[in-house]
Structure 1
Amino acid sequence: MKAQLHQAEDRRLAALRSYDILDTPREAEFDDVVKVVSAICDAPISVINLIDDGRQWFKAEVGLGVRETPIDSSLCAHAILQPGLFIVPDTTLDRRFTDNPLVTGDPHLRFYAGALLQTSDGLPLGTVCVLDYKPRELDETQKAFLRLMADQVMKALELRKLVAVERAGRLKAELIVEENRILAREGDHRVMNSLQLVQSVLSLQMRSAANDDVRDNLESARNRVLAIASVHKELHLGGSLEDIEIAAFLRRICSSLQETAPASITAVNVTAADLMMRSDLASAMGLIVAELVTNSFKHAYGARSGPVDVSFNPTPGGWSLCVADQGHGLPAGFDAAKGSSVGMRVVTALVRRLDAELSIDSSAGGSRFTVTSKV
């Protein structure tokens, strides 16, 4: 007699396939289970049996020598329709099996006992079973052991499933990270192209400007775009979205800025301590340096020449950033917060963003802008 389908067969098969166990190679942990079950139950045949669509497949077996058989002759297909432990002391006396070819013919199976492999929501996947060539019974210890082994196999299947889910999640996360890196690189490339285009347009406008004030304003705008481009480029080259090594970051920015320096600027010197800083803070700091350095390019020396010095050092509980020149100094009564310079208003806004303070020292011997933070 062929076993009927389980009342929730579609859900049962979906649950079975979710464990991704069918047609996998033999594994020692499952082979050991059937060996021990066979020995404890004193049975020549022991099987971890999973009931698939149209077949029964054996994850591990002792005494059969095959990995699957058709479902029509399956004794376990009947077992998964029964609650708990399913025992047939003599198959020739059970009408479900009297005409089964495995009973009436080779290998002449006469005894069956199977403990369910069952999901947490009650769906049977198969059994851990033992079979014999003679009618018999199991004692209470053997019955308890067979149930225990079924529980252990089910826990092993659940663990495999959990590991597979975690692995899939990790691979998906790695894929997302890589995709984000690709998108970030493409975004950076497009931003740089756009900034370079704006610089080129401003340079063209400068050359054709008939008015000195217009030319000065266009130059200021071009320098500001250059500063933003330099900071963006260095953040991109740093390759980190979290932490930036600030000394190398400032050196690269100032190196880029020096390429556009007028002849009056002999050098842009950087002295900086090695310190890691969050990329958002480093970005603000880089823009401050770019604004102050380009400001020195324009106003510090005039007909004279000299360097621009940039220094960064940790302080107790914070850090200090300084941009200084040896030029003419600032106009009397200069106020960075209230000045008409767009660049200085940008600097003061960035300083507030850093939760820092800006101090300015100026004399005929030069100007010094110092940003200090206690964070």
Structure 2
Amino acid sequence: MKKLLQSLFLAASTLVLQQQASAQGCVAVRQMGGINAMSASSSYNLGKGEFQVGANYRYFHSWRHFVGTEEQPQRQVLGNAVNIYQHAVDINISYGLSSRVQLNATLPFVDSERSQTLTLNKDVATKTLTRYSVKAGGLADIRFGANYWLIDPKKAHKGNIMIGAGIKLATGNYKATDDALQTDGTYKNVTMDQAIQPGDGGVGFSVEFQGFRQLHKNIYGFANAYYLFNPKESNGSFKSAAKAGLTGYNIYACPDQYFARAGFMTAVGKQKNLAFSLAGRVEGIPAYDAFGGQVAYRRPGYVVAVEPGVTYRKGQHTFSLFVPYNFIKNRIQSAADIADQNLQNSKISDPANYVHVQGDAAFADYSISLGYSFRIAKSAKVPTWKVN
């Protein structure tokens, strides 16, 4: 029974604190998680003076375009779909300030490629498309945070709740450039699309909730939620020339983002060191920030996914694999869309002829997240739990 509880506590903390949000393509939901503070021990918290180090790797490929929840399959037929490939690595370190308080730091790196098409001047008559790629990468936005267990882990054997707060620094390049193909066949060094920029240019602060609870024998439920507030309106990097009457929307925003996840997990095997999970999750970027100005460009939207996962522990080592599959993809109206829509409709006298303006975005069908962590305990003695 003790081994079962220890392994389920491990699985609960791994599943709750593992990777949180991952980029989805043109809707640039940036990496927010990766702080896996308690996943490599036989208890779900770090003891006072204990460390944990680890890394998470994520990959996705976005290529399916949506306006709202309606897919645009013609982009594939015409061959002009935007494809984004991203590899991301988070290096994490956590420290137990006490048995209830953990301090966390994440050093993220990304490598992104955007494949897109262009009709060259010489090909206008034949409407021939030329596909080319641009890239951006490097250090992303560094994150620091602190988490607090509401109930003393020594007394909470069947479940617990953690609350946390953090800060995201503007360390990632938010105006990276690359050589892009032009219609005359030459290349020009230009600012990359917001979707592949390593950073967003804003200093943000986050709040989060995490928890788990034993439901029946070796079946546990878990949930976590996260919101990043980015008060800065824009980072000053230019998207494109402004539309008439929409000055301001031609610079990139520093958007808020959010994430929520809940599911079930169970441990199996003789040592109960192997855990399986199944969760539902939603993540996205809102059209408007909670604080700060709104006049800047973003591609807001969200995905809803089902996320199977597996976690394996061997001593102080923990390995994990999560593969969320996005079954709902929604590119919602942005503030720029609504402003453009209102501007156009203000010139139309008959409401029956009003136009609806809503941009599109490319989404990934799924992402892959691999994690590893190692706990540096104060002693080699494995903690034990008193089971009532």
TM score, norm. by length of structure 2: 0.21
Higher radius of gyration, 1 or 2: 1
Structure with greater helix share of residues: 1
Structure with greater strand share of residues: 2
TM score, norm. by length of structure 1: 0.22
The higher relative CO (CA closer than 8 Å, separation ≥ 6) is in 2
